[in-house]
Amino acid sequence: MDAQACPVNQRFWTPGVVVLAFLMAAGAVAIVARFVGGIGYVSNLSNARPWGIWVGIDVASGVALAAGGFTTGFLAHIAGRHYYEPIVRPALLTAMLGYTFVVLGLIIDIGRSWAIWKPMIFHNTNSVLFEVAMCVMFYLNVLYLEFAPIVVERYKGRVRLPGLLAIFNGPAEALLSLADAVLPKIMWILIIAGVVLSCMHQSSLGSLMLIAPTKIHPLWYTPILPLLFLTSAIAVGYPMVVFETTIITSSLKRDGEMHILASLTRITIFLLGFYMVLKVGDMVVRGTYVYLLDGTAQTNSFLVELILGVIVPWVMLLCPAVRRSRRALFIACTMIVGGVLLNRINVFIVGFTSRLSDGSYFPSVSEILVTVGLISGLMFIYRVLVTYLPVLSGAHQEVSS
């Protein structure tokens, strides 16, 4: 805990940030087109393929890859490993922004964006999607509240809004004081609730596709799909933290925090191994290995997902040399992240077939622009927030590894 978190004090408009801004602008154009011409105007979605990459990547993968937030929160706060404290704030910020953009993606994807509040009034408790929506909604609020102390730490007693907004200085200050008084007392509830809500909807995202037994390829359609989703989300949590920490520390030339990342990956060996055993075991028990050599897009995608996304990185992590090498560790963790990403894409898009109607689907350019734009927006806001808020630990600033 010697590395106190502090705002990043570096040149903001680096070439990377400019590229992000450009992609954001392109995505914004596509989003405007979606709200002018309709979903059909910008996307390749059809009656046979109602869900595309906006659900498969923006929502499902977004939720999975934001799992770093609750897994590190569990480790540092519930299990009491304060050693991992430096990575909690970045992971929390990633989760918060990740879920914010999941909701933004949903708003773009659903046909009646203005009606997104309706599940709060009209309940269908039989619907898996209803449960997912409720969990995501509550969890997003939990994440904001968990993040609030960071804002309080930075701005309490220092609220200086510019120009006319200065009249809000008083109320903002009062709000921060209130948060400062209340939040520490209920933080333990929020932390546990965050883990519980995450477990609920991470698994339920898997149940989502169980409603379509005739459409999902048997390689993925298994009654334990929710369990696989949960375990893969838990397994991908720490690799995702390694992945983003490595990217951030190298792009901002900060301390690599290798000691923390290396021990995180030791836990990952068990978590990923558990997921691997479940996934392979499920394949063996249900006998779906017969499809493996079909040579179709689905089976090839499954093979890539299983071998390059799970087995190879798991074997890599077993080697102490990999865990010590910053580069090798990054590669292994990127493969795990990619494996889970591909798994979500496979379940929601590749493995989804419609045999009665022509269900061929490949995302359109504007569809991809929206997704890329949203991800760029996430990264951009991340960069903005770490500039103003104490998120990244800054003890060894400017020490290149």
**Number of amino acids touching another protein (CB under 8 A):** 79
Select from 91-99, 127-135, 238-246, 361-369 the region that touches another protein (CB under 8 A): 127-135
Least Å distance, CB 363 to another protein, is 14
User: Does residue number 264 form part of the binding site for another protein (CB under 8 A)?
Assistant: no
Select from 12-20, 339-347, 351-359, 377-385 the region that touches another protein (CB under 8 A): 351-359
List CB contacts of 79: < 8 A, sequence separation 6 or more: none
Least Å distance, CB 341 to another protein, is 20
What amino acid occupies position 168? Answer: F
Of the CA atoms within 13 Å of residue 48, those in its CB half-sphere come to 13
Q: Which of 22, 35, 289, 362 touches another protein (CB under 8 A)?
A: 35
User: Does residue number 223 form part of the binding site for another protein (CB under 8 A)?
Assistant: yes
Least Å distance, CB 290 to another protein, is 19
Three-state helix/strand/coil letters over 202-238 = HHHHHHHHHHCCCCECCCCCCCCHHHHHHHHHHHHHH
Task: Provide the H-helix boundaries in 38-127.
Answer: 39-42, 53, 62-65, 68-73, 85-109
Measured distance between the N- and C-terminal CA atoms of the chain, rounded to whole angstroms = 20
The residues in 101-120 that bind another protein, with binding defined as CB under 8 A, are 109-116, 118-119
The site string for another protein over 73-102 (x = CB under 8 A, - otherwise) reads -x--xxxxx---------------------
Q: Which two tokens stand for residue 182?
A: 């209340």
Q: Which of 1, 9, 47, 162 touches another protein (CB under 8 A)?
A: 47
Q: Which of 1, 15, 214, 327 touches another protein (CB under 8 A)?
A: 214
Question: What is the chain's alpha carbon radius of gyration, rounded to the nearest angstrom?
Answer: 21
Least Å distance, CB 401 to another protein, is 26
- List residues bridging with 322 in a β-sheet: none
User: Does residue number 122 form part of the binding site for another protein (CB under 8 A)?
Assistant: yes
CA–CA distances in Å: residue 11 to residues 2, 89, 401: 25, 22, 20
Least Å distance, CB 267 to another protein, is 7
Least Å distance, CB 190 to another protein, is 12
φ, ψ of residue 306 in degrees (nearest 5): -75, -45
- List residues bridging with 393 in a β-sheet: 5
Select from 148-156, 198-206, 299-307, 393-401 the region that touches another protein (CB under 8 A): 198-206
Residue closer to another protein by CB (options 165, 285) is 285
